[in-house]
Structure 1
Amino acid sequence: MASKNLLIIGFVWPEPKSSAAGSRMMQLIEVFKSEKHQITFASPCAKTDNAFNLESIDISQVSIELNNSSFDIFIKKLNPDVVLFDRFMMEEQFGWRVAEQCPDALRILDTEDLHGLRKGRQQAFKDKKPFEVSYLFNDIAKREIASIFRSDLSLIISEAEMDILKHQFKVDESLLLYLPFMLDSISEEDIKVLPKFENRNHFITIGNFLHEPNYNAVLNLKETIWPLIKATLTKAELHIYGAYASQKVNQLHNDKEGFLIKGFAQDVNEVMQHAKVCLAPIRFGAGLKGKLIDAMKNGTPCVTTSIGAEGMFGNLDANGFVEDNPKLFSNKAMELFQNETLWKSKQENGFEIINERFDRKVHQEKFLKTIAETTQQLNQHRLNNFTGQMLQHHTLQSTKFMSKWIEEKNSNAR
C-alpha cells in the first residue's frame, strides 16, 4: 500500500521545549510517522532558535505565504491525502484553498485549546465578573466554531471543552475527537530513579511567557501567594522558568524575596525533578496545562486552581491540591512542602493520572481508527454536516475574496 501524504499547516514552527502546544504537535507527528505517512510541515511564521529541526526526523519544511496564490500551486502539486490545520487561524487562512485545490483531502483541525473559551475567561477576569455564556459567545468563538464546522474532524484536548462544544455550541459529536496529550506510561523503574523528597528543594513554576495566562499566574504568585508562603518558609525559593521572558517578567526577579526568574529551561525534566512542589495559580485559560503534565511525569506534586485542573484529573485524585483562594492555596503549598507522607501520596496520584488518562497507545489507536473511518465515508460525513457546507459556501467566500484583494493590493505595491 502506498504511503499517505500529510500536510501540516502550522501557526508556528513547533517548539517542544518552549510550550505545551509544541509538545502536542510533536506527539501528533509521531502518530502519523508510525503509520509511515510522508509528512510536510508548512508555516507562514518566522522560525525561532527554539524551533525543532523537523528535517532531522525526515519531515519536509516549507515556508508559505499568507494571501498568496503560490500556496495553490504548492498544494496542488503536493496533493495531500490529509491536511492538519494547527489552530483555527490556519484553517481560516488556508482552508478554502485546500478545499478548492484538493477537495478529497481529509481536513483535520487541531484546536490546541479553545481560544474563544480562553478569551472569554480573560475578559471576565479583567471585568472582575463571573464567567458566563455572554463571555463565551465572543467573536473569537464565532470564528473558531465556524472553523470546527468547516473541518471534517477537530481534535479536542480536554473533556471539559468537549462538553462545551456539544452542549453550549451544539456541535455534533461526529465532528469531534477527544485527544489529550499522548504520553508513555511511567514504569516502576522510571519512578525509582527520580530524586526523593529529601533530595529536592524549592518551589517551581514554568510556562511560556508569550502566553498571557502564564504571565498572569506569575503576577498572582508575586503579588499575592508567594508573600504568604515566604512569611512562614523564610528560606524557601520560587524558581520561575519559561521561554521568552520579557523585561516586564525579568524585573519581577528579587533575590531577597527568593522570587527567582530563571528564564528558558533547556531540560524541563531536570528542573522539575529538582523541585519539591509545583505552583500553578492560573486565573484564566483553557485546554490542558503542560506544566502539570511535566510535574506529574517527574514526580513533583502541584497546587493549582480549578482553571488549571480543568480536564486534567478526571475521576482520579489530583497530584496535589486544587484551591482558588490564595490563602488556602499557600497553606496547601506549604503543607505539601513540609509533609513527606502527604507529598509521596500526591506524587503517586500523579503517576496514576499519567498512566490511566494519557496513555499514548490507547489514544493513538482511537485517533487512527477515527481517521480511517472518516476517510472511508468522507462524502457521507460531509453530507451529514450541512452547517459545515453552508459555512464553506458563505463564510469562506468572504475570507477568499479578502485574501485575493490583499494579494492584488500587494502585487500592485511592488
Structure 2
Amino acid sequence: MDKKLLIIGFLWPEPKSSAAGSRMMQLISFFQSQKYQITFASACAKSDNAFDLSTIDVEKVTIELNHSSFNDFILKQKPDIVLFDRFMTEEQFGWRVSQHCPNAIKILDTEDLHFLRRARQQAFKDKVEVTNDDLFNDTSKREIASIYRCDLSLIISTAEMSLLQNTFKIESSLLFYLPFLVEAISEAQKKTLPSYDQRQHFISIGNFLHEPNYNALLYLKETIWKGIRAKLPNAQLHNYGSYASQKVNQLHNEKEGFFIKGFAEDVNKVMQHSKVLLAPIRFGAGLKGKLFDAMQNGTPFVSTSVGVEGIVDDVNLDFVCDASEEFINYSIKLYTDTSTWRQQQNLGFEILEEQFSKSHFESEFKKRLLDIVANLKAHRQHNFIGQILQHHTLQSTKYMSKWIEAKNS
C-alpha cells in the first residue's frame, strides 16, 4: 500500500502566479517520486489561476476552519505525513492532527519566514534598519511555536536557517534547508536559449498582491525607470504579474515605455525574450522565484541585497544594487554591454548548478525523512519544548476552536 501524505494548504497552488505555488508543486513532485498517495486539502476558495491537481492524481478536498468535520476527515485519511503550508495552517489544524493521528509526522513548509518579512516591511515604512528587537515580535512567537510543534520545518534560505539557529537558538534537528528544487540546465538547453541580439526590453515580474512586489513596481515607476529612460529613450519595461488591480493598471504609460502586461501565461517564454530582469526588492524574505526563473532562462538580472539573499553571499557583486543610482547605471550597462550580459548569464547558470541541485537536495530530504520515521519517538523526546507547546496548544487552541464552532452553529 502506498504511503499517505496529506497537505493542508493555506492556498490552492498557483504555480503560474507565485513562487509559493511553484514551491508547492515541487514538493508534490518529490513526494510522488517517493510513492506517496497525496491528498491536498484547503479551506481557501479556489481562484481561476489554481492548478488542477486532479490532472496529476492528487485528490482535492475542501475543509472547514474551526469545524469538527475535520476530525472525521483526518481519521479517514490516516496520513503517514501531514505537510502544513505555512504556520497559519498548523495553528488551525495541527492540534486536530495530533489528537486524532498522533503518529503522523508533521512537517511545516514555512515558504519564507513571515515574521522576518513583516519586520523588514515595518522597518522600511519607518525608514529605519531592522534590529533583533524588531524580530522578537508577536508573529515570530507564533511562527517559531509552530516550528517547535512540528517534527520538521522546511527552510528555503540559508540566511533564514542561520537566523533561526543563531538568533533564536532552534536546534538543527528540527530544521531542514530545502531551497527551490530546480532542474539542471544541460549544455544543449543553453544553446537553444535566445542570444543577446535576439532579445529586447527590460522585464519585471511578480504577483501584484504581494506587497514587496507592488512596492518594487512603484519604485521602478517613480525612480528607477526614469533614470534608465533618460539614457535609453527607446527602451521599454514590460511588467508582468497576476492580480493586477486598478492602481497597478493605472501605472501603464506607453509614452514612457512603462507597460503593465498583467498575467504571464508562460513565464519561460516572456523571460527568454527579455534582455534584463529588474527586481529592486526593498523588503521581504525567502528566495525570490523571479530570480530563479531568470537564471533558468539565461536572463541576467539586477536586484538588491534583500533580493539576492540566500542566492549569493557577496553583496558587493555588480548586479546587487541597493542605491537607486547604482541600480540605474548597472541596468544600463547590462542592457548595452554584450560582454557584461554574457558573463552574468553564465554566472546564473553556475549558481543554479553549484548551489541548487535538485537531485542533491531531494536525496538529502529523503534521508532525513527516513531517519525521522525510524526514530520518531526519540526525535520527539529530544524536542521537549515542542511537547510543552503541543500540550498547551491542545488545551487553548482546541477550546477556542470549539467555542468558535459552537458560536457559528
Identity of aligned residues (%): 63
1:328 maps to what in 2?
Answer: 326
| Alpha-carbon contact 1:6-1:40 (below 8 Å) kept | yes
Per-residue deviation at 1:395? 3.4
Q: Deviations over 1:157-204 (max 9, x none)?
A: 000000000011111100000000011101111111100001111100
1:394 counterpart SS class:
helix
1:18 maps to what in 2?
Answer: 17
Q: C-alpha separation between the residues in 1 aligned to 2:353 and 2:189?
A: 12
Question: Residues 259, 307 of structure 1: CA spacing in aligned structure 2 closer, same or farther, 3 A cutoff?
Answer: same
1:179 is matched by which residue type in structure 2?
L
1:333 is matched by which residue type in structure 2?
S
| Alpha-carbon contact 1:88-1:144 (below 8 Å) kept | yes
> Which region of structure 1 is more displaced relative to structure 2, 126-135 or 115-124?
126-135
Per-residue deviation at 1:317? 9.7
2:337 maps to what in 1?
Answer: 339
Per-residue deviation at 1:111? 0.2
2:399 is matched by which residue type in structure 1?
F
Q: C-alpha separation between the residues in 2 aligned to 1:289 and 1:387?
A: 32
Q: C-alpha separation between the residues in 2 aligned to 1:398 and 1:263?
A: 44
1:175 maps to what in 2?
Answer: 174
1:124 maps to what in 2?
Answer: 123
Q: How does 1:336-375 map to 2 (within 5 A)?
A: 336-375=334-373
| Alpha-carbon contact 1:44-1:63 (below 8 Å) kept | yes
Q: How does 1:77-226 map to 2 (within 5 A)?
A: 77-226=76-225
Q: C-alpha separation between the residues in 2 aligned to 1:316 and 1:324?
A: 9
Q: C-alpha separation between the residues in 2 aligned to 1:161 and 1:177?
A: 11
2:296 maps to what in 1?
Answer: 297
| Alpha-carbon contact 2:95-2:393 (below 8 Å) kept | no
1:307 counterpart SS class:
coil
Per-residue deviation at 1:313? 2.5
1:338 is matched by which residue type in structure 2?
T
Question: Residues 171, 369 of structure 1: CA spacing in aligned structure 2 closer, same or farther, 3 A cutoff?
Answer: same
2:284 maps to what in 1?
Answer: 285
Per-residue deviation at 1:397? 2.3
Per-residue deviation at 1:315? 6.8
Q: Could you list the runs of 5+ residues in structure 1 that have no partner in the other structure?
A: none
How many residues in Structure 1 have an aligned counterpart in Structure 2? 409
Q: C-alpha separation between the residues in 2 aligned to 1:210 and 1:187?
A: 34
Q: C-alpha separation between the residues in 2 aligned to 1:383 and 1:247?
A: 53
| Alpha-carbon contact 2:305-2:315 (below 8 Å) kept | no
2:401 maps to what in 1?
Answer: 403
1:400 is matched by which residue type in structure 2?
K
Q: TM-score, normalised by structure 1?
A: 0.97
1:275 maps to what in 2?
Answer: 274
| Alpha-carbon contact 2:185-2:349 (below 8 Å) kept | yes
2:166 counterpart SS class:
helix
Q: C-alpha separation between the residues in 2 aligned to 1:97 and 1:317?
A: 48
1:59 maps to what in 2?
Answer: 58
Q: Could you list the runs of 5+ residues in structure 2 that have no partner in the other structure?
A: none
2:124 is matched by which residue type in structure 1?
F
Per-residue deviation at 1:136? 1.0
Q: C-alpha separation between the residues in 1 aligned to 2:278 and 2:171?
A: 37
Q: C-alpha separation between the residues in 2 aligned to 1:330 and 1:388?
A: 48
Q: C-alpha separation between the residues in 2 aligned to 1:402 and 1:28?
A: 32
Per-residue deviation at 1:352? 0.9
Q: TM-score, normalised by structure 2?
A: 0.99
Per-residue deviation at 1:22? 0.4
1:225 is matched by which residue type in structure 2?
I
Q: Does 2:246 align with 1:247?
A: yes
RMSD of aligned Cα (Å):
1.1
Q: C-alpha separation between the residues in 2 aligned to 1:315 and 1:185?
A: 23
2:44 maps to what in 1?
Answer: 45
| Alpha-carbon contact 1:316-1:353 (below 8 Å) kept | no
| Alpha-carbon contact 1:317-1:349 (below 8 Å) kept | no
1:388 maps to what in 2?
Answer: 386
Question: Residues 316, 234 of structure 1: CA spacing in aligned structure 2 closer, same or farther, 3 A cutoff?
Answer: closer
Q: C-alpha separation between the residues in 2 aligned to 1:238 and 1:206?
A: 11
1:204 counterpart SS class:
strand
2:73 maps to what in 1?
Answer: 74
Q: C-alpha separation between the residues in 1 aligned to 2:154 and 2:363?
A: 14
Q: Deviations over 1:92-118 (max 9, x none)?
A: 000000000000000000000000000
1:266 maps to what in 2?
Answer: 265
| Alpha-carbon contact 1:92-1:396 (below 8 Å) kept | no
Q: C-alpha separation between the residues in 2 aligned to 1:277 and 1:399?
A: 48
Q: C-alpha separation between the residues in 1 aligned to 2:133 and 2:315?
A: 32
